[in-house]
Structures are given as C-alpha cells and as structure tokens.
Amino acid sequence: MSHAHKPLDQQVIVITGASSGIGLATARMAARAGARVVLSSRNGEALATIQEEIERAGGEAAHAVADVGRREDVQSIADKAVARFGGFDTWVNDAGVSIYGRLEQVSDEDHERLFQTNFWGVVYGSLVAAPHLRRRGGAIINLGSIASDLAIPLQGMYSASKHAIRGFSDALRMELEQDGAPVSVTLIKPAAIDTPFPQHAKNYTDREPKLPPPVYHPDEVAHAILHAAVHPQREIVVGGGGRAMTGFKSLAPETFDRLGAMMAGQQMRQEPPRDPEGALHRPGQDGQVRGDHPGYVRRTSTYTRASLHPLATGAVMAGVGLAAAALMKRRA
C-alpha cells in the first residue's frame, strides 16, 4: 500500500460512532493534531456538546446525526463534510455495538439490527466515501476487531459481523487498487479496549458483562487510526495480547475452541445487568471515552507501536509467534 496522504493538520476526517469510546477518543486526538473533524452518531445532544468542546479548545468541527444502518443517513454525513469543509480526506467507520448472549437465545430482530449497524454501516460508509476519495485521494479506515480473526463466545453475531467487515474491506481494497485509485483501505483490529462497549451492548445474560484481559486504553486505538490516516497499512492489530490470541488460534484452532468456556466466564461480573437493553436499538449514555473496567488497563501496546514501523515488524512478529507458542504450551 504505497499511497501517501496529507499530514493530519491538513486533513478533514469523518468519524462515525464519534459520541463515545474509540470514536470520541479519535475525534479529540485528531482535533488536537489540527485536523478538522466531522462527527456522527445517533446522539445529537452528545455530538453538539463534543463539537462545542473541540471548538472551545481552538479546533474546527461539525456534526451530523445519523444511523449508519441507513444509507441515506450516511450520505448526509458526507454532504455535511462537503458543505462545511469542502470535502474530506479520511473516513473512519467506527460505529458498532454488540450483544451478549448465546446465538440461540438472541432474537432475529436483534441479530439483524447488530448486522445493520456493524456491517452495513461499514459498507455504506465505505461506498459513500469511495467516489469522493477517488477524486482527491485519501483513506478509508474500518474498525474490525480481533474478532475478525476468531470467534468470541457469547458474542457470536458480533464476531460474525467483524469477520464480514474483514472480507468486505479486503474486496474493496482489491477493487480500488485494480483501478489505480489513490485510496487506502485499512482494517483496525483492537483487542479488548476500555470503552463503554459492555454497557452499550444488549445483554441476554443474568450478569453484568465486562472485558476480558488484557485491556487497553482507547487512545491506543485512536493513535493507530490516525497513523493509518497518514501512513496507510493493510491491517493494524491494537494490543499485543490480542495478537497472541489470534496467533494461538491459528496454531491450534481446536485447542482454542475448547477454551471457549473459560473465555465466556472472563466476560462476566458477579452483579446483575445494569441496562440489559443497551444501545442496540437506541442511543446510549454517550460522551465518555472510557468504560469502568474493574481491572488493570494498559496505557499503550509495545507490539502495536512497533508494528506501525515496517522495519520493526519482522522482529515483532517473531516475538508474537514465540508468545503464542508459549501460551499454547501452558494451556495444554
């Protein structure tokens, strides 16, 4: 991927899912770097507050209320970027939500709503952004997950949606490269990140969900996203722990599957659920980057920082392979 993009302080960056979590962290970091940002989510009140915060700090921002599961709403985000800033240079498809529950428990309606947001939101965002970026160059950045490479028990349809995002991103990248379009497509694959993700998920279980360790700070994902906006890479895994898990799964898939029960237990607290409905069908309690993970949160990932620099990637991958082999040996 040889495209060269503008420095951040010369870019207009569109971010969906910008009212909380990774999207909000990315918007704030981009604005501090001098980028102009276009924020989108379903929560207009939260977006207006975030825009005002950015502008008070000397940045430039606009917002568009949109449900990414509706193509006409996604088009309105692009229209806002063109009307306010004359266009955009990077489009970040971040909006997403999950469901905690066994696949047979979850209603068809909820499964469809999750896919409409997670998968079709990425599809609509990418296909709306691509024609504009073909003309001026730029980046499409899609938020996958380590669940793009492995399945997470109790989050089966979320895992399926992230697998689908990877397949779509790969196909889109191929078509753009075949046409010689000056557009990069990057898939970001975070491990567990301390955002309000568990609280925004719909919950079919009888316990409050939590993130399985190791857990990383949202700013580490924002850093990777903004790196890809300037220095494109095909895929970026955020969190060495997540990369070790995907490596383990590749080396010993059947053993990994048998560990599913343990993984399910790591996703649950002892107390009953606080908000079982979550934000699947309606906006959640937005405005917060961080969640309330009860354990240790890693501020940075040495693996991720090293992988952003190609000369270090070989050494990093060798280390990850050794870590995955050691983990498999311990589990066995």
CA angle (169, 172, 173) in 5-degree steps: 85
Q: Is the pLDDT of residue 248 over 90?
A: no
What backbone phi and psi angles, to 5 degrees, belong to 64?
-140, 125
What backbone phi and psi angles, to 5 degrees, belong to 101?
165, 155
The 10s digit of each residue's pLDDT in 201-242 is: 999 999 999 998 999 999 999 999 999 999 999 999 999 998
Q: Using CA atoms, how far apart are residues 176 and 43, in angstroms rounded to an integer?
A: 33
Query: Is there a contact between 68 and 92 (Cβ–Cβ < 8 Å)?
Result: no
Mean of pLDDT values over 7-11: 98
- Res. 325 pLDDT band, cuts 50 70 90: very low
And the tokens for 43? 């929560």
And the tokens for 124? 């609509």
Give the residue with greater pLDDT, 269 vs 31. Answer: 31
CA angle (95, 162, 253) in 5-degree steps: 150
Return the pLDDT at 108.
98
What backbone phi and psi angles, to 5 degrees, belong to 302?
-60, -40
Return the pLDDT at 1.
54
> Considering the chain, what is the average pLDDT of its residues?
92
Confirm or reject CATH 1.10.3720.10 for domain 8-331, answering yes or no. Answer: no
C-alpha dist (Å) from residue 162 to 81, 84, 169, 199, 209:
27, 32, 10, 19, 19
Q: Which residues contact 322 (CB under 8 A, 6 or more apart)?
A: none
What backbone phi and psi angles, to 5 degrees, belong to 191?
-80, -155
- Res. 328 pLDDT band, cuts 50 70 90: very low
Q: Where are the domains of the chain?
A: 8-331
My answer on whether omega of the bond before 214 falls inside 30° of 0, hence cis, is yes
Cβ neighbours around 289 below 10 Å, total: 21
Question: Which value, in Å, is the radius of gyration of the alpha carbons in the chain?
Answer: 19
Helices (H) and strands (E) in the chain, counts: 12, 12
The 10s digit of each residue's pLDDT in 285-308 is: 899 999 999 999 999 999 999 999
CA angle (142, 143, 147) in 5-degree steps: 130
- Specify the pTM: 0.92
The 10s digit of each residue's pLDDT in 141-187 is: 999 999 999 999 999 999 999 999 999 999 999 999 999 999 999 99
- Res. 256 pLDDT band, cuts 50 70 90: confident
Q: For residue 268, what is the DSSP state?
A: B
- Res. 259 pLDDT band, cuts 50 70 90: confident
Catalytic residues: 158
